[in-house]
Structure 1
Amino acid sequence: MVNLYRELQPVDRLSIRIPFPLSSYERKLITLLYQPLIGPDAVSLYFMLWAEGEDMIETNLSHYHLMNALDMPIAQVFESRIALEAIGLLRSWRREEDTMRSFIYDVMPPLDAKLFFDDPILSMFLYSKIGEHAYRLLRQRFIVKGSTTAGYSDVSRSFMDVYQPVQQHMPPNDLQMSTGVEKPKDIPFDTHDFDFEALRQGLSEQLVPQSVLTPEMKVLIAKTAFLYHLSPKDMQQIIMMALDETMHINEAKLKKSASSYYKMTISTEPPTMKKFVKVEEKIQTEEPQKESKTKKDGVIENFNALSPIETLSALAGDRPPFPKDIELVEELVMSYDMPMPVVNVLIHYTCLRNNGRLNKNYMHAIASAWRYSGAETAEEAMKMARDFEHKKQVKEEPKTLVASDAMHEQYKVLRAAAGAFYQIEVAKDGAYSETELKTKTIELFEQTEPMTFLQMLNDGKEPFSNDVKVIQKALESFDMPQEVFNALIHYAYFVSTNSINLNFLEAIAGSWRKENIATAEAALDYAKAYQQSKSTKYYKTSYTKQPQVDETKLPGWFKDGQHKKHVEEQSEQTTEKDFEAERRKILEELGLDEG
């Protein structure tokens, strides 16, 4: 059982090398000879690495790139990778660092067709997969039989027959052309699993000398024993049957003898191959496995098994996640190098805290805290989330919000804050300083659940059902932290004379989103500045002064009317003055005073 978490994670970096040129001939070999053995997923990964490695510029790729391009989960990518490694098409190099793990993948060429068909394991594996008829057709297609050279003599010139050396100074070869990777002549195969000591004990030194068992012959013997499930004792008999007249082991006779021995003693059906490496997608622990899994165990297993994209889809009811959510998750993975299970916990926790929605600022804050604390597993991330919730509850417990004197005091603070910051004259309260109001108000914004906050605004009384519905609808629609949402309710409630209107809330929320309001303090400062600007505007507007009007732009009828009105006013004033002068003259003639 291979533990996936210890082997490969989506955040692991990779670079690709192609040590040897690959052509359409190699592509044909991969498609026709190798694909039946390793499957289409492994072949897709091979061609993907081939294409990326031919002109690789970006050296900071993560395995998320392969997952997205191939539409495979990380477990499937890993299984495809080890299939390529096992059959000799990929060499993988790994380096562990403090904060990350990186890989180099060498894309290796396939074996030549003759070497492929000469290999007992590969040829028999292919034979068992595609059947005798298709196998013979493929063999005839790739192993071309040329015309015989019997009766001909080789007249080809050697190099020395054509060229001769010239004494010239040779510049030193400063460039290292070799990559340290040799072209494969065989599939990776470990001969240590076969007991050659037991094999030698039953073979006579006179009949089968030790020198006959060359390294190449040992590989062939081990492969044959592996293919046909034969023991060292079985192989002793097969080797004796494969000796030629010079007392050397003939490779063709060894293969034929092993096949005959297998048919006579084990089965008439050809041997088949199957994978026995299973990828375990959960973290192995030292504790014995319990017979029955708890709900927590099941959740942890899901966090360890699923990719973040699959987690998003599961939380959305198996619907495809939104592209912006995928971008956010990939950004978190690339920015914080978070393991896949930790990312899944973060997604799950954020959705629970924000009514099924992902909030970018909120997730970045948590990711930063978890990375600082060293969260590496789903269990550690879940514990941090629980500890945070517990601390929050403990912090809020002394301020349990019920319809009581305590809530009335909190209402007074919120009302006074509206007076101080939103210019609501009737709400101003000189008992509080502005600094004190700001501190207490922000604290209430941060620590109060929105529905309880609504009750607090209503001085502890049960809020109206319509207001409750509006807040519930807004919670579902608005993507903002709780503290900012409470600030939004507070502002809307007091500037609209103790009422809540959804359209008004949406308008304010839209404005705040444009201004990137992300904290309670920023919301309070923005609302204060906005209200002050409105007050200043209204203060500067005078309704007692006549506006200055360009008389040249007034219509004629308006000018005529104004002139007529002015003449009448002047006439009235003149009449009044004449009457007053006449009255005084008469009084003087009569010898009377003003009284």
Structure 2
Amino acid sequence: MGLQSSDYGLRPHDNFNVVRNFYLNNNHLEILNRLFTPMIGANATGLYHYLNQFVELESDVVLTHYIIMSELKINLLEFRKSMDLLEGIGLVKTFVNHDAQHSFFMYQLIQPPSAKQFFNDPMLSVYLYSEVSKQRYQQLKRHFETKVDIDMTHYKDVTRTFTDVFKVPNQSITENTNAIQDEATFDGLDLSQVHFDFETLYDLLHTHFISTKIIDKDAKSLITQIATLYGLTPESMKRIILKSITSAQELSFEELRKHARTYYLMEHEQQLPKLNVKSSDMQHTGSANEQEQVNQEDDWLQQLEETSPIDMLASWSESEPTTQQKFMIEELIERENLSFGVINILLQFVMLKEDMKLPKTYIFEIASNWKKKGIKTAAQAYEYAMKVSQPKKQSDKHKPYYKQRQLASREMTPKWLEERDNKSETPASNTSEDDEALKNDREQFLNQLKNRWKEDK
């Protein structure tokens, strides 16, 4: 199942860094653009190119996911969807370190495979073939074959070693066990979670007097790939292996791949398997948790109604609001007589549209407009804000932008709301005390606000 941003605790203000332990050259870019794009799409490969720019930045530069959202014009769920594809295909690794207030993400770019590695990989080559026409596949293969090195099979390596050429002291050389290793090479698709019943396969081969020694480490890896690609059972694999054994009683990898492909085509009306994302599982999970999400949204809107805009703003920006901002909020409450929930939605709406800024004139203009439209609750404000965020022109084939819930969505849950979620796990007695304290704080705030305006008069 595809992972959502909530599975990682991913929020816009979470920091990230990008590392790359290889030199990204033109050959790598050609592999990405010509071979991987047809399989995972331009958004995913584009994200790979986009992240590459952050590799060379100074270590003291602070990067947040808000930068990605702002520059690519996507929300965190769209970001995670593209990252899922990059991770699943083996081009990116993600590491995370959580602390009390933030999550720090490390994205490691993996070196794309060479053309030879790609076309020799039974899964990658077949999936590419399924996405493009036969003519296009052959065209791509010929393009990269012109760059393949000369076949060195019949050549003998006679290169002299260091000790053949240079004098060395008569001392034992100590190996450096801490040598830096390149951990960013492409290791193929990660099938570590795939189980194939080799014990049953061994028993089936034994009945045909075939030694299991022909299935070495490389053979097991290829069999696992082929079985995963074509959905083969040990019985089916046994038949394919018997056809792929040479006269020297050795297993031919080329014949194994050819016979497996022929077997699958015969069983599936000459149609090769395609690379399919688990979208159905994600939809099923979404429908199963739909009621829970609705309840969480109701709780969130209720929390907005009960939280002072000043407190919300302090938690949202993780800094104390300025004196001018506090006076602006107090004036907004007194002048427009809007509820805390409406003002909280209004402020979040403006900050998202104005790059986290709070222009007073713009805020009061929106507040006046919302008051004229009779918006009195956080739910009404939230619904209207999402409505006006919808693009004027859109195709019926595409999901409206506001439906992505970028505005004040769960993926952008402010810190004070998360603290509220944590507090909800406390005993009921503590919860009632917190509710009473919140009510008292709100009454005190309103009284102080009224007294301030009486003094000004």
Task: Select which of 125, 147, 152 maps to 1:123.
Answer: 125
Check the 8 A contact 1:14/1:63 in 2, yes or no: yes
- The equivalent residue for 2:453 is 488
Q: 1:348 to 1:165 in 2, by over 3 A?
A: farther
Give 1:42's aligned residue.
44
- Alignment partner of 2:420 out of 375, 385, 393: 375
Q: Report if aligned partners of 2:94, 2:107 keep a CA contact under 8 Å in 1.
A: yes
Map of 1:93 onto structure 2: 95
Alignment of 1:185-224 (within 5 A): 185-190=187-192, 192-204=194-206, 207-224=209-226
Go from structure 1 to structure 2 and tell me whether the alpha carbon gap of 1:325 and 1:157 turns closer, same or farther (over 3 Å shift).
closer
Q: Distance in 1 between matches of 2:351 and 2:442?
A: 35
- CA–CA distance in 2 between the matches of 1:484 and 1:32? 63
Q: Note if 1:326 corresponds to 2:327.
A: no
Residue 181 of structure 1 is aligned with which of 178, 183, 186?
183
Aligned to 1:167: 168
Change in 2 beyond 3 A, CA 1:375/1:392: closer
Say if 1:21 and 1:485 are closer, same or farther in 2 by CA, change over 3 A.
Answer: farther
Deviation by residue 1:513-568 (Cα, 9 ceiling, x = unmatched):
xxxxxxxxxxxxxxxxxxxxxxxxxxxxxxxxxxxxxxxxxxxxxxxxxxxxxxxx
TM superposition score normalised by structure 1: 0.51
Aligned to 1:271: 273
Per-residue Cα deviation, 1:418-473 (whole angstroms, up to 9, x for no partner): xxxxxxxxxxxxxxxxxxxxxxxxx6xx444xxxxxxxxxxxxxxxxxxxxxxxxx
Q: In 1, distance between residues paired with 2:107 and 2:221?
A: 26
Task: Mark the CA change 1:25 to 1:389 in structure 2 (over 3 Å): closer, same or farther.
Answer: same
Letter in 1 for 2:203: Q
Report the Cα distance in structure 2 between the residues aligned to 1:61 and 1:281, rounded to whole angstroms.
32
User: In 2, Cα distance between the equivalents of 1:72 and 1:167?
Assistant: 59
Deviations 1:453-512 (A, max 9, x none): xxxxxxxxxxxxxxxxxxxxxxxxxxxxxx4465235533xxxxxxxxxxxxxxxxxxxx
Choose 60-69 or 257-266, whichever is displaced more: 60-69
- Change beyond 3 A, Cα 1:396–1:218: closer
Q: 1:212-268 CA distances to partner (integer Å, 9 max, x unpaired)?
A: 111221111111111112222111111111111112211111111011111222331
Rounded to whole Å, the distance in 2 between the matches of 1:301 and 1:283 is 21
Q: Which residue of 2 aligns with 1:57?
A: 59
Q: Are the aligned partners of 2:32 and 2:45 in contact in 1 as well (CA < 8 Å)?
A: yes
Structure 2 unaligned runs (5+)? 303-315, 318-340, 359-376, 383-413
Give the 3-state SS of the residue equivalent to 2:190 in structure 1. Answer: coil
Q: Partner residue of 1:142? A: 144
Give the secondary structure class of the aligned counterpart of 1:216: helix
Partner residue, 2:116: 114
Distance 1:237 1:64, change over 3 A: same
Deviation of residue 184 (structure 1)?
Answer: 2.4
Instruction: Give the aligned residue type for 1:134.
Output: R
- Three-state SS of the structure 1 residue aligned to 2:108 is strand
1:134 partner SS: helix
Aligned equivalents of 1:148, 1:374: Cα separation in 2: 63
- Cα drift, residue 136 of structure 1: 0.7
- SS at structure 2 position matched to 1:52: coil
1:297 deviation in Å? Answer: 5.1
- Change in 2 beyond 3 A, CA 1:49/1:176: farther
Q: Does the CA contact (< 8 Å) of 2:130 and 2:274 recur in 1?
A: yes
- Decide whether the 8 Å contact of 1:42 with 1:84 is kept in 2: yes
Question: Closer, same or farther in 2 for the Cα pair 1:92/1:279, shift >3 Å?
Answer: farther
Q: Which amino acid aligns with 1:26?
A: H
- RMSD over aligned CA atoms reads 4.8
Structure of higher RCO (CA pairs closer than 8 Å, 6+ residues apart) = 2
Which AA in structure 2 matches 1:165?
F
Aligned to 1:80: 82
Deviation at 1:43, TM superposition (A): 1.2
Alpha-carbon distance between aligned partners in 2 of 1:196 and 1:230, rounded to the nearest angstrom: 12
Q: 1:296 to 1:201 in 2, by over 3 A?
A: same
Partner Cα separation in structure 2 for residue 202 and residue 190 of structure 1: 24
Name the CA shift for 1:39/1:325 in 2 (closer, same or farther; >3 Å): closer
d(CA) in 1 for partners of 2:263 and 2:165?
55
**Which residue of 2 is the match for residue 230 of structure 1?**
232
- 8 A contact 2:116–2:148 mirrored in 1: no
When Rg is computed on C-alpha atoms for both structures, the one with the higher figure is: 1
Q: Please report how far the alpha carbon of residue 32 of structure 1 lies from its aligned counterpart in structure 2 after TM superposition.
A: 0.8
Paired residues, number: 365
3-state secondary structure, aligned to 1:49: helix
